[in-house]
Amino acid sequence: MPHLHIDKFETIDFPQMVDGVNFDFIVKNANHDKEFLISTTVENDKFFLLVKLDENKNLLKSDKLTRPSSIHNVHKALLAYSKLAKLDVLSSNVPEQEKNIHLQEVNALKDISYFASKFPHAKDVRIEVGFGSGRHLLHQAVNNPEILFIGIEIHRPSIEQVLKQIAIQNLDNLLILDYDARLFMELVPSNIVGKIYVHFPVPWDKKPHRRVISTSFIQEANRVLSVGGKLELRTDSENYYAYSYETFIAFNKTTLHINKNKDIAISSKYEDRWKKMEKNIYDVTMINEEESKALSIEGNFDFLSVELPHAKILELHAKTEKFDGGFIHFERVYESSDVVMVRLSMGSFDRPEHLYLLVKGKTASYYPSLPLKSKSNLIAHKYLNGLLNG
C-alpha cells in the first residue's frame, strides 16, 4: 500500500486545495489520539488519507476502506498533502512520475455506482470473478467483441495490468470493477448473463465464510444467468472442489457438469505451473434452466433529522446491533469540532458492507458513497435511521 514515513505530522487549515487535490476536513479517532482521517477529493474520487502516529514510525497512507478506483490519485494526494503541510518525509514508496499513458487513455475502470445507477445494456454479458493476471479475461474479450465482459478484482496491480492491455489492444467491450463480487451480484438484472467465470478463487480453508462460492452466491448466479447460462468454477484445490460440489448439490434442483484436468483455450500462468507440478484441476459447471423474476428492490438511503446527541453517537463505539435480516457493527468513532463520524459494517452477515457514517449537526450521510442497494443494506439503513432519529 502506498505510504509516506514522516518525521512529524502537521495539520493544515481545512478546506484547502493544491495541485488538483482537495483536502476537505480532518477527524480524529475518538478513542485513539494517534489516528486521523483526512477527507480527500481527486477528480471524481473521494477517499480518506489515514494518519497513524507511533513513537518509532509516523505514517501517512491511504485508508484501505475508502481506497479509490485510481491508485494514481492516492499517490497524487499523498504527495500533495506532504507538500502543503511541509512534511519531513523519511522514506516513501510513492512514485512521483506522471500517470502511465495507457492508464490515462482508458476509461474501462468503473465505480460500483456506475453499475448501480444504470446497469450497462448488451445482447450478452459475461462476468469473471477474480481475474488475476487477466489472461483468460482478455482472451475472451478479444475473441468475442460482440459480448460485454465485466472483470471483478480487488488486487490493484492486476487491475492496472489489465487496464493497460485494454488501452493497448483498444478494447471497448471490457469493463473493470474493484469491488466485492458477492455484493456486486445483487444489483445485476435478472436473466442477462451468459457466463460467470470463477477461475481459481482463493480457497480460504481457514476462513470459509470468505469464499466466493456459497449458497447465496449460487442463488444470485441462477437469478442473473439467462436460460442455458453457465457458472464455471475452476480450481486446483481438492478441498474447495469438494466444498463447492456439496454446496451446489444441496439445491433442490440443479444441473452440474464435472470435469477433471480439462484443457481450455487459455490458461493462467499459475495453472501452467500447477500442471507442471502434476496437480489436478477440477471444473464444476452449473447450468441454469429456469427464467427468474425481474430484479426489484424498493427503498432508498435518505436520512431523517439526527436527534441523537453527538456524545451518544460516540458511545456507539464497538457496539453491534443484530436484527432480522442483518446487522450493524459500529467499528470506530471519530470526531472534530463540528463532525462526528462512525466506521460501520452493515447489511448481511455473509457479505457485510463497510463504509462511514458522517454526522454534521442534524444531518447524516454516508461516506464516500451510498451503500449498495441490497435488501439487507436497506433493512440495516432503516434500523440506523430510526436509531439516529431517536
Give the whole-number percent of the chain exceeding pLDDT 70: 97
Domain covering 107-287 assigned CATH 3.40.50.150 in the classification: yes
Confidence at residue 106, expressed as pLDDT on a 0 to 100 scale: 66
Whether the pLDDT of residue 267 is over 70: the answer is yes
Model confidence at 268, pLDDT cuts 50, 70, 90, reads: confident
Whether the pLDDT of residue 318 is over 90: the answer is yes
Distance, in Å, from the CA atom of 92 to the CA atom of 21, rounded to the nearest integer, reads 19
For the stretch 352-368, pLDDT in tens is 999 999 999 999 999 99
Distance, in Å, from the CA atom of 299 to the CA atom of 67, rounded to the nearest integer, reads 27
Distance, in Å, from the CA atom of 130 to the CA atom of 89, rounded to the nearest integer, reads 35
* Whether the Cβ atoms of residue 62 and residue 49 lie closer than 8 Å to each other: yes
Distances (CA, A) of 82 to 45, 49, 86, 306: 19, 11, 6, 36
Distance, in Å, from the CA atom of 163 to the CA atom of 72, rounded to the nearest integer, reads 13
For the stretch 42-69, pLDDT in tens is 988 899 999 999 887 899 999 999 988 7
Rounded mean pLDDT, 183-208:
94
Confidence at residue 374, expressed as pLDDT on a 0 to 100 scale: 86
Distance, in Å, from the CA atom of 27 to the CA atom of 37, rounded to the nearest integer, reads 5
Rounded to the nearest 5°, which phi and psi values hold at 247? Answer: -70, -45
